[in-house]
């Protein structure tokens, strides 16, 4: 048995988890670190309020199943978090406890109870995407006569062409774009995975015009800088998209009632590829999905559209005899 005096403290374990495990061994992205950090900030404040212990005085056993369940309930009921956010917080706590279990065996019983807490099931939202006319109106909305408008038009055209995540667009440099007979965008995706996506001639032409207007044409400079010369952030890209959508709603009034996020543009790319007959495995590579199974949500959405179209048709009437259960137990089962 390990001497209790030699047990690693909770603060030491948490610091090791972030610095050594996440930062060095797993080498996760800064976005993952930030998400895990936010989870533990919320959890430690909740623990301090609930059990009266400051974060530096906590022990692993204090993070028991009862506390974690109360914390998850607090997230949903008091902070108004969605079930998906609740499950993401639980995943961060589980990741830490799995790491801690290898460092402190004496807390195994408490850790196993938390690891047994299930993720809550939730309804998957209907996949949102735009029509070809709507996305065309959005891309054409920025004024090409201005510096900002030309940048936004090039950025939105590239987002639709590549189906890139907003973080991938924000991180693009001039070195990531190859313009030539075959134009390509090199994207850095989740988990530092890289992929190359071909560019349509129209997208390549728009990018050429934009690059000529850049003050700093060095290969390492941001492809889409802000007016202050710094790389655009994810939030600033979302704001510029919102401006373009508001302008495009004059031509496409239905856009006025929709919330169009950068991820909706990504969904739109995938759905338009699927509806054009592109194989689902190619779409998975296009979007940078680790597994083609992730891409099947677009098949499900496409099937839902077809089902809705089918409901608008009048089916052929075929007379059938109604089944009648011959046994009370069968009748019960049929009624379930």
Angle between helix 30-51 and helix 65-77 axes, rounded to 10 deg: 100
What residues act catalytically? 165, 190, 263, 266, 289, 298
pLDDT score at 317: 57
pLDDT in tens, 45-102: 999 999 999 999 999 999 999 999 999 999 999 999 999 899 999 999 999 999 999 9
Alpha carbon separation from 227 to 4, 43, 146, 149 (Å, rounded): 57, 38, 12, 11
Tokens of 190: 């989740």
Cβ 133 vs Cβ 141: under 8 Å: no
DSSP assigned state of 18 = I
Q: Which of 80-89, 226-235, 307-316 has the lowest mean pLDDT?
A: 307-316
Residues of the chain above pLDDT 90, percent:
63
pLDDT at 309 over 60: no
Q: 224, 194, 196, 230: which is closest to 211 by C-alpha?
A: 224
Cβ 213 vs Cβ 147: under 8 Å: yes
pLDDT at 301 over 80: no
- Integer Cα distance of 67 and 60 in angstroms: 12
Angle between helix 30-51 and helix 83-101 axes, rounded to 10 deg: 90
pLDDT in tens, 134-153: 999 999 999 999 999 999 99
Beta strands 194-198; 177-178: pairing state: unpaired
- Integer Cα distance of 307 and 316 in angstroms: 16
Model confidence at 1, in pLDDT bands (50, 70, 90)? very low
Q: What is the mean pLDDT of residues 240-269?
A: 94
DSSP assigned state of 198 = E
Centre a 10 Å sphere on the Cβ of residue 189 and count the other Cβ atoms it contains. Answer: 18
């Amino acid at each position: 048995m390990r001497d209790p005096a030699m047990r690693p403290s909770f603060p030491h374990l948490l610091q090791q988890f972030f610095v050594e495990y996440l930062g060095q061994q797993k080498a996760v992205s800064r976005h993952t670190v930030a998400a895990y950090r936010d989870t533990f900030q919320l959890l430690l404040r909740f623990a301090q309020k609930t059990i009266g212990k400051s974060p530096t005085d906590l022990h692993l056993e204090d993070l028991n199943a009862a506390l974690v369940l109360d914390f998850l309930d607090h997230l949903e009921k008091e902070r108004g978090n969605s079930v998906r956010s609740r499950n993401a917080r639980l995943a961060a706590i589980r990741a830490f406890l799995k790491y801690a279990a290898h460092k402190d065996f004496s807390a195994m019983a408490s850790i196993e109870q938390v690891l047994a807490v299930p993720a809550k099931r939730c309804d998957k939202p209907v996949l949102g995407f735009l029509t070809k006319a709507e996305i065309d109106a959005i891309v054409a909305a920025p004024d090409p006569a201005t510096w900002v408008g030309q940048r936004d038009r090039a950025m939105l055209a590239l987002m639709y062409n590549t189906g890139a995540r907003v973080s991938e667009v924000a991180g693009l440099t001039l070195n990531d774009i190859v313009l030539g007979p075959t134009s390509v965008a090199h994207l850095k995706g989740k988990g530092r995975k890289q992929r190359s996506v071909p560019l349509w001639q129209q997208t390549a032409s728009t990018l050429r015009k934009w690059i000529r207007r850049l003050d700093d044409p060095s290969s390492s400079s941001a492809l889409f800088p802000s007016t202050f010369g710094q790389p655009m952030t994810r939030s600033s890209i979302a704001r510029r998209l919102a401006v373009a959508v508001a302008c495009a709603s004059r031509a496409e009034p239905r856009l006025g009632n929709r919330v169009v996020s950068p991820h909706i543009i990504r969904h739109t790319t995938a759905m338009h590829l699927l509806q054009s007959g592109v194989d689902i495995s190619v779409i998975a590579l296009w979007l940078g999905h680790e597994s083609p199974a992730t891409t099947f949500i677009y098949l499900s959405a496409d099937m839902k559209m077809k089902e809705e179209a089918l409901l608008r048709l009048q089916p052929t009437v075929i007379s059938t005899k109604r089944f009648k259960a011959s046994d009370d137990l069968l009748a019960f089962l049929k009624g379930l």
